[in-house]
Structure 1
């Protein structure tokens, strides 16, 4: 069983080695372009061929290029927006105030400096690690405008440097917290503008209800108190005119005295009778 695992491992290693060998090697070369206004554009070009021409390197940088073939190789007439529109014009159509030619000077980076190339770009071979420079300006067959002093490391960063720079960009993800879009949330805070409280303050208009206060009508109840004006009780007080009750009152008093006297007499009679009965016994 152990041998089977070892055999499987060897097969896997062989397959991985074959895949790695099948992948072409990636070469890198750099391009530095300086325009007449001082603007600098750089590009890092990858290629799988053992080598390419200097013109191919420039064309693969992504910049529009117009060139003219010659016996010493292709001359570059225009890069991007600057240069001569060959064949509508001469490849060296531009002149300065002193009558000198203004053209694209071609350089190769060697030993930490720029070396002017007397050959056209199509006649120069580019290998892994090479750096070419182009500059627009006045000059002659021995030299012209010079590109800025850059090295290949400034144009083509190593894989380790790229990984290091990628990591910070990945950490920059927090800056994408839409939270500038969900802080698209600060606009949501405009909800306070929908605060109908001002409408609620219109409740003072509801306070105008006092204007409809019929209580004054209720105060008309004093008119109801005018009922005393209809107080016939004074007419009832006219009863003194019919004051014969005092006479009836005196008659009642006499009848009371008479009844009391009768009771007293009756009591005396009963007492006397009882005494007699006791005497006879």
Structure 2
């Protein structure tokens, strides 16, 4: 009988050790506000287990269609939801070839105000409650100002972006010249009335997508299975003891 209880106790301790790291991880949230410059504004709230994630990770995990290229000098965002140019070094900056320039201007929400980003999305670190904004334009106008509560409410009210979800944006159209979004990972200049044409020096190699389940996370289904197993074993041991 003592052997049965020792076995059950060992299984229970193994169960606690397996799920401990999972319960110790606190879920964090950061938000994304995307202004297409034509009246459309999309809001997404992204949950993550890490302490911080990069601005590029926030875009990737938002469910939005994002086209980008990266290399030794950083990451360039070429298009969001089809607004932009093909993700190649030669074409990613096609809207900044004349006297005017339209691109995906990058902002951070700080102390209730939008601040133009001083560095690229790859270098940006977001923690719990942080907000990033992207605007398709000349860099002078920030996204619409919203509180964290308004952002979360808007995110819950919208279905995930996807070509098969009714009521969302249609599939991304073919890229056309005059729609681009250069956002390098190196420090960005302050917005100016006239932006010079950027130099497309980013290699064509695209970054690999982030992993699914964070390292150390214990799947909920496995935790439940372990819990049921331990409960049944405890019940069996109690029944055997009562029978004797």
**TM-score with structure 2 length normalisation?**
0.51
The aligned counterpart of 1:110 is 110
Higher relative contact order (CA 8 A, sep 6+): 2
The aligned counterpart of 1:87 is 88
Structure 1, residues 151-207: CA drift from partner, whole Å, max 9, x if none? Answer: 2221225xxxx8xx9xxxxxxxxxxxxxxxxxxxxxxxxxxxxxxxxxxxxxxxxxx
The aligned counterpart of 2:152 is 156
Structure having the larger proportion of residues in helix: 1
Structure 2: which 5+ residue stretches go unaligned? 1-11, 158-244
Say whether residues 1:61 and 2:57 are aligned partners.
Answer: no
Is this contact kept in 2: 1:72–1:120, CA < 8 A?
no
- Distance change >3 Å, CA 71–CA 111, structure 1 → 2: farther
Q: Give SS of 2:150's match.
A: helix
Aligned equivalents of 1:22 and 1:71: distance in 2?
35
Structure 1, residues 75-120: CA drift from partner, whole Å, max 9, x if none? Answer: 2110002011121743221149x72211000000001111111211
- Distance change >3 Å, CA 70–CA 116, structure 1 → 2: farther
Aligned equivalents of 1:125 and 1:56: distance in 2?
9
Q: Give SS of 2:74's match.
A: coil
Q: Give SS of 1:74's match.
A: strand
Q: Give SS of 1:123's match.
A: coil
Is this contact kept in 1: 2:78–2:85, CA < 8 A?
yes
Structure 1, residues 16-55: CA drift from partner, whole Å, max 9, x if none? Answer: 9x96764121000000000031200000000001111001
Aligned equivalents of 1:47 and 1:21: distance in 2?
15
Aligned equivalents of 1:79 and 1:57: distance in 2?
13
The aligned counterpart of 1:7 is none
Count of residues paired in the alignment: 141
Say whether residues 1:130 and 2:115 are aligned partners.
Answer: no
Aligned equivalents of 2:34 and 2:22: distance in 1?
35
Q: Give SS of 1:154's match.
A: helix
- Distance change >3 Å, CA 130–CA 87, structure 1 → 2: same
Is this contact kept in 2: 1:44–1:156, CA < 8 A?
yes
Higher Rg: 1
Q: Give SS of 2:58's match.
A: helix
Aligned equivalents of 2:70 and 2:124: distance in 1?
13
Is this contact kept in 2: 1:131–1:151, CA < 8 A?
no
The aligned counterpart of 2:33 is 32
Is this contact kept in 2: 1:28–1:44, CA < 8 A?
yes
Query: Aligned-residue CA RMSD in angstroms?
Result: 2.9
Is this contact kept in 1: 2:29–2:45, CA < 8 A?
yes
Structure 1: which 5+ residue stretches go unaligned? 1-11, 166-281
Is this contact kept in 2: 1:26–1:47, CA < 8 A?
yes
